Structures are given as structure tokens and as C-alpha cells.
């Protein structure tokens, strides 16, 4: 059976025993000579150490957490930590409003709830995304319209969005996958021309920028995740950003059982709501973690740029390209495509096995979502058949073809953000590991 590591599992497995970024890496292997074998064939590992552990914690986390513990106010309604976090996140992103919630999924769910997305509505999403983007649409009995991927950038192919719009389209949700911004110029233009709001799924994209503006602040709203693997993390958590005051109030209502904030100006009375509140403990950890975010973002970017330079020199390794409007990527993932042509047709699975043996953790990323059973079975879901009818659901199933994405899902290789917190030398070791594998591809096929 084909086994793929889940992204979160992947990040936690390979970061537990790591070193702090401040620690040096004395056991560097210089294997640029052509006779050094890959580790899978008995040679020394290209990267014998461990990448930085995740999350990084210090005294600050203890102070903030103890503060909440001792205050005996652990819920946000009477506490201070979530409010402090919201103010600081607003300040570093340049957004007018921020709402902390219990997860990234619930940030998206809150936004859809506040927009009153429901049965009969269509929501445009990329096919290359984490399942949560799809799930929040389906939880509202709306129809997810999957758009193919731009294989060079791994992002939603913005040129294919317009043809997926119908009179039932109520929302477009671009995802900044891997933490790199989607083509927001094109997407915002389409949204404006068709009068359809844009909800940015920025769950992987903390501090990423499009033309100097933080992502999550360019559409009507932006959703963020603070789940354990994320660049900003409190175990589980999420936030919504928006510049629209009324929308911010609706989101607050939706996440707080329909109860309005004390200072509300919005006449809207919600008829559906939930409890999706962030706890004070989550808020306190985020306050401490946020203090390192800017430095970590810079370090990831510098290392990613260096790695791209090194990998671009290797034939048939294609690092994900950034759009011209990207002024910062969050590099939640470092993603590249592997074309086995220049590697004697060595399978991607074997390449990844060999990389792991070199001490370079990696995964193949997402499966083709449109082919997953949980997606194809939607066409048989009794509620969907009631709402949309058999013909619409059959047509929906048949239209779910994403050939570029199919190819990408066969070729993608992911490295995690924690690896980009390593040293420059470690970026060289990643490239060296790939080069070793390339040189010995024929022997690896036989092994
Ligand atoms: C693109 C994307 N959207 C949504 C989510 C959901 O976030 P959470 O896990 O915090 O619910 C994630 C998290 O993995 C994500 O990567």
C-alpha cells in the first residue's frame, strides 16, 4: 500500500529531537567528491545532525502561561490574554480587526457562517490544499468548486477561476499554500468584477506579503491556523483578520453563540452560531511565540532563497516559483517538483527514501483531493442529493478534473519550515544529498 506521511505527523516526527538554531553543526560531511556513496548504499549521511526542534520555547512561555493560570480567568470573555494577542496580531499584520478562535478550521468556518453561506451556494477553492478548506464548505452544505493548480507555483491557477464562476458562486477562497501567496492581483480582480468576496485561507502563511501587504488583509478576510506544525503555534488555535467593521462583528457573533460584543454597531442578528472561542492559555502562548516570528520569518526566507539557488542548478529539480507580486513568503513548506528524467527514472518514492536515509526528512505532500473517496462520495451524499439533485451532483463529479494537479501530486517533494530554521551549511547538505542520489541513481534503482 502506498504510504504518505501526513504533513503534521511529518513535522512533529522530524523535529522532536532537534537542536536549537543557536547551536552549531560540527559534524558536517563534505561529500562533493563523486565517490561518496548515498547513505542508502552504505555511505555517510549528508546531514548527520538533527534540524531545529519545533516549537521553540523559553522562559517567556512559562511567564505568560503562569500568568493566565494564576489569574484563574481561563476563558476569553473575562480574560486579557486573547485580547492582547488580538491587538498584537492586528499590529504586526496591519489589519483593522482580529478575532482569535479555537482553530484555523474554525476561523474559516466562522467566516463562512458570518457570510451566511449555505445550501445551494457555490464556493470556489483550490484542489491543492489541506482538507479543512474543503470541509468548511461541505459543513455548510454548499458546493465546493475545485480549481486546478498552477504547477510551477503550486498555487491555485488563478487563470482558471473565472470559468468556474456561476450565478450561484458566493465566495472564492484562495489558499496561500506552503505559505507562499497565491496570485492575488488576478484573484482580487475577478472577485471585484463579479461582486464575489475573497476569503484568504492564510492558515500556512503567517507574515507572508503580497506587494508589501501582509496576506490575510487583502480580501474581505483572512484565516490563520496556530496548530502545532504552523510557523506561529499554540498547539491548536486560529484567527480571522478583516478591515470590515460589520463583518468583524458578525464573526464575533458567530463564534460567540450569536452574542454580540458589547460595543457592536451591526444591526445584523445572527440566526446560526457556535462557541468557537480561543482560550486564554492559547492566547498566552501565542503572545510569547509571536516575539520570535519576525526573526524566524527572515531566517526561513534567507535559507529558502539560498536553497532555491542551489537546487535550481540541479537538472529536473524545480523549486516552487514565487509570483512577481510576492514580497515575502512564509515558507511554511519548502516545495519542489522532482522530474525523474535526469535521475535515470528513479521513482519519487525511492528518492524520498534515499533523502530520509541522508538525514533529510521529506514528504510527497497532498494526494489529488478530487480523487479522494471522501470527495467523490459527496456525489452520493443524501443531503447533497436532496439539495442539488442527482444530475447536478453527477455533473459536479464529472467536472472535477485537475490534470495539472494530478501531475503535481506525482512530482511534489516537501521539506518543512523547521528545516529552514537551520544553518546555511544545512541548506548545502540538502542540495548535496540530492546530488549524491542523482549520481548514484542507477545503483539506487537496483538496490
Ligand atoms: C491550508 C489550511 N487550511 C486550513 C487549515 C486548518 O487549520 P487547523 O488545523 O488549525 O484547524 C490548515 C491547517 O493545517 C491548512 O493548512
**Any atom of ligand 1 within 6 Å of the Cβ of 18:** no
Distance 39 CA to ligand 1 centre (A): 34
Q: Which residues of the chain have pLDDT under 70?
A: 1-34
pTM of the model as a whole: 0.93
Distance 246 CA to ligand 1 centre (A): 25
Active site residue 230: yes
Distance 208 CA to ligand 1 centre (A): 16
Nearest-CA residue for ligand 1 atom 10 is: 104
**Any atom of ligand 1 within 6 Å of the Cβ of 203:** yes
Rounded-to-integer distance, Cα 389 and Cα 383, Å: 9
Grid cell digits, residue 425 = 551549511
Residue (of 437, 359, 369) closest to 126 by Cα position: 369
Nearest-CA residue for ligand 1 atom 8 is: 104
In contact, 304 and 179? CB cutoff 8 Å: no
Number of helices (H), then strands (E), in the chain: 15, 15
Please give the angle made by the CA atoms of 442, 312 and 183, to the nearest 5 degrees.
Answer: 125
**Any atom of ligand 1 within 6 Å of the Cβ of 132:** yes
Burial category of 286 from C-beta neighbours within 10 Å (exposed 0-12, middle 13-18, buried 19 and up):
buried
Q: Which residue of the set 45, 170, 214, 230 is catalytic?
A: 230
pLDDT of residue 28: 37
pLDDT of residue 33: 57
Distance 132 CA to ligand 1 centre (A): 6
Query: What is the full DSSP assignment across 6-19?
Result: -HHHHHHHHHTTPP
Ligand 1 atom closest to Cα of residue 132: 4
pLDDT of residue 32: 53
Rounded-to-integer distance, Cα 392 and Cα 30, Å: 59
pLDDT of residue 263: 72
Nearest-CA residue for ligand 1 atom 14 is: 130
Distance 110 CA to ligand 1 centre (A): 14
Query: What is the full DSSP assignment across 307-367?
Result: HHHHHHTSTTEEEPPPPTTEEE---SEEEEEE-GGGGTT--HHHHHHHHHHTT---B----
Phi, psi of 41 (to 5 degrees): -105, 15
pLDDT of residue 265: 76
Model confidence pLDDT, tens digit, residues 265-305: 777 777 899 999 999 999 999 999 999 999 999 999 999 99
Q: Which contacts of 369-375 are long-range, i.e. CB under 8 A and separated by 24 or more positions?
A: 369/127, 369/128, 369/129, 369/131, 369/134, 369/146, 370/127, 370/146, 370/400, 370/401, 370/402, 370/405, 374/131, 375/134, 375/400
Residue 69, CA distances (Å) to 58, 101, 163, 281, 376 in order: 17, 19, 52, 8, 46
Name 423's Cβ contacts closer than 8 Å, sequence gap at least 6: 21, 24, 25
Amino acid at each position: 500500500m502506498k504510504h504518505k506521511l501526513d504533513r503534521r505527523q511529518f513535522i512533529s516526527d522530524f523535529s522532536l529531537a532537534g537542536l536549537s538554531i543557536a547551536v552549531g553543526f560540527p559534524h558536517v560531511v563534505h561529500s562533493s567528491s563523486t565517490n561518496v556513496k548515498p547513505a542508502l548504499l552504505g555511505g555517510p549521511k549528508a546531514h548527520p545532525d538533527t534540524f531545529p526542534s519545533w516549537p521553540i520555547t523559553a522562559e517567556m512561555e512559562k511567564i505568560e502561561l503562569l500568568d493566565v493560570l494564576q489569574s484563574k480567568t481561563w476563558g476569553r470573555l473575562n480574560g486579557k490574554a486573547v485580547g492582547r494577542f488580538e491587538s498584537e496580531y492586528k499590529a504586526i499584520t496591519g489589519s483593522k480587526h482580529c478575532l482569535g478562535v479555537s482553530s484555523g478550521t474554525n476561523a474559516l468556518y466562522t467566516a463562512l457562517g458570518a457570510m451566511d453561506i449555505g445550501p445551494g451556494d457555490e464556493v470556489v477553492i483550490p484542489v491543492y490544499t489541506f482538507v479543512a478548506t474543503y470541509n468548511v464548505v461541505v459543513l455548510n452544505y454548499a458546493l465546493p468548486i475545485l480549481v486546478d493548480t498552477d504547477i510551477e507555483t503550486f498555487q491555485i491557477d488563478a487563470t482558471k477561476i473565472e470559468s468556474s464562476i456561476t450565478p450561484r458562486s458566493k465566495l472564492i477562497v484562495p489558499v496561500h499554500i506552503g505559505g507562499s501567496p497565491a496570485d492575488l492581483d488576478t484573484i482580487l480582480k475577478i472577485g471585484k468584477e463579479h461582486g464575489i468576496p475573497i476569503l484568504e485561507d492564510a492558515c500556512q502563511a503567517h507574515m507572508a506579503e503580497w506587494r508589501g501587504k501582509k496576506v490575510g488583509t487583502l480580501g474581505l478576510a483572512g484565516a490563520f491556523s496556530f496548530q502545532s506544525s504552523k510557523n506561529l503555534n499554540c498547539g491548536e488555535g486560529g484567527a480571522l483578520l478583516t478591515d470590515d467593521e460589520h463583518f468583524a462583528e458578525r464573526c464575533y457573533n458567530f463564534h460567540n453563540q450569536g452574542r454580540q460584543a458589547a460595543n457592536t454597531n451591526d444591526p445584523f442578528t445572527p440566526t446560526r452560531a457556535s462557541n468557537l472561542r480561543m482560550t486564554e492559555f492559547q492566547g498566552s502562548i501565542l503572545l510569547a511565540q509571536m516575539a520570535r516570528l519576525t526573526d524566524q520569518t527572515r531566517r526561513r526566507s534567507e535559507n529558502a532563497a539560498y536553497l532555491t539557488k542551489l537546487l535550481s542548478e540541479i537538472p529536473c529539480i524545480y523549486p516552487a516559483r514565487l509570483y512577481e507580486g510576492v514580497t515575502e513568503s512564509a515558507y511554511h513548506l519548502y516545495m519542489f517538483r522532482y522530474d525523474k528524467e535526469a535521475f535515470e527514472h528513479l521513482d519519487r518514492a525511492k528518492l524520498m527514501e534515499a533523502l530520509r536515509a541522508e538525514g533529510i526528512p521529506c514528504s510527497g505532500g497532498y494526494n489529488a483531493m478530487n480523487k479522494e473517496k471522501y470527495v467523490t462520495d459527496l456525489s452520493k451524499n443524501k443531503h447533497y442529493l436532496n439539495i442539488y439533485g442527482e444530475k447536478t451532483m453527477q455533473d459536479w463529479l464529472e467536472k472535477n478534473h485537475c490534470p495539472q494537479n494530478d501531475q503535481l501530486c506525482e512530482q511534489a517533494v516537501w521539506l518543512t519550515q523547521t528545516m529552514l530554521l537551520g544553518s546555511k551549511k544545512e541548506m548545502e547538505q540538502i542540495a548535496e544529498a540530492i546530488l549524491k542520489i542523482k549520481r548514484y541513481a542507477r545503483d539506487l534503482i537496483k538496490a
